[in-house]
Amino acid sequence: MKNLSTFLTVIAGALFIDALVSAQGVHAQSAGSATAGKVAFMRDGCYECHGTVGEGNYGAGPAIAPHPIPYANFVAYIRAPRGEMPPFDVHVLPETDAENIFAYLTSIPTGPPERSIAALQAIGTGNAGPGERVSPAIARGHEIFSTYCVKCHVSAPIGPSLTNLKAHESLAIITAQIANPAPPMPKLFPATLTQADVDDVAAYVQSL
């Protein structure tokens, strides 16, 4: 009977710990409040450099929405940024505010795709001159690049410049690097990007 009592005590303790860990896990993955995040985004002056909807401000701050970088990368960067952005540690920006701001940025809708805007159809991408038509793969790759890649490789000094990458990297290598990147570049394939997406982005990058 004593052994049974001890066994039941151990089981009860294990269940309690499991419930506690699960609760903490749910809290850690909380999406935050987009409404409260917008208030914090304006109150703390984020809009002054990044625009009221995260669209960026040329010469001040890069675009950070829609499709912000993963939350872990987002928090790591605002805590210890590079360039001229001031650091926002937990005393300046508590974790709850960071979660809420991220929720606000995530809630910002994506605008219409470039290919749906008639006025942009005559404008080339990559190395094409004004008015030149480019291949559908490069045009689509440019659209995907503008959504997922421009934040690190163009707007902010996080990733390297890709201009004239074709001079020392083949299309196959560029494709492989996009599909299976080295850290800290996030891996978007296959969860976010399809193989066709990767191929088109690689074609666009090689056209730069």
Structure-token pair, residue 200: 């088109």
User: Most confidently modeled of 16-30, 62-76, 112-126?
Assistant: 62-76
Count of the separate structural domains present in the chain: 2
- Tell me: the pLDDT tens digits for 88-97? 999 999 999 9
Q: If we measure between CA atoms, which residue out of 99, 203, 109, 103 comes closest to residue 147?
A: 109
Does the pLDDT of residue 122 top 80, yes or no?
Answer: no
Closest CA relative to residue 101, chosen from 28, 40, 30:
40
CA–CA separation, 16 and 18 (whole Å): 5
Question: Is residue 120 in a domain?
Answer: yes
More confident call, 135 vs 175: 175
Residue 153 in contact with residue 161, Cβ under 8 Å? Answer: yes
Query: For residue range 161-187, what is the model confidence (pLDDT) as tens digits?
Result: 788 888 888 898 899 999 998 877 888
Final residue belonging to a domain, choices 64, 84, 107: 107
Is residue 14, in this structure, part of any structural domain at all?
no
From 107, 129, 148, give the residue that closes a domain: 107
Q: What CATH number is associated with residue 157?
A: 1.10.760.10
Q: Domain boundary residue among 107, 137, 172?
A: 107
Asked if 79 and 144 sit in the same domain, the reply is no
The answer to the question of residue 11 being in a domain is: no
Do residues 147 and 154 lie in contact, with contact meaning Cβ atoms separated by under 8 Å? no
In a domain, 25, yes or no: no
- Band (pLDDT 50/70/90 cuts) for residue 159 is confident
In which residue are the tokens 């690097």 written? 177
The residue segments making up the domain with residue 158 are 114-206
Cα separation values, 126 from 44, 51, 136, 137, 206, Å: 37, 26, 12, 12, 8
Does residue 196 lie within any of the structural domains? yes
Shared domain for 129 and 177, answered yes or no, is yes
Residue 172 lies in a domain: yes
- The whole-number pLDDT of residue 126 equals 54
* 71: confidence class by pLDDT, cuts 50, 70, 90: very high
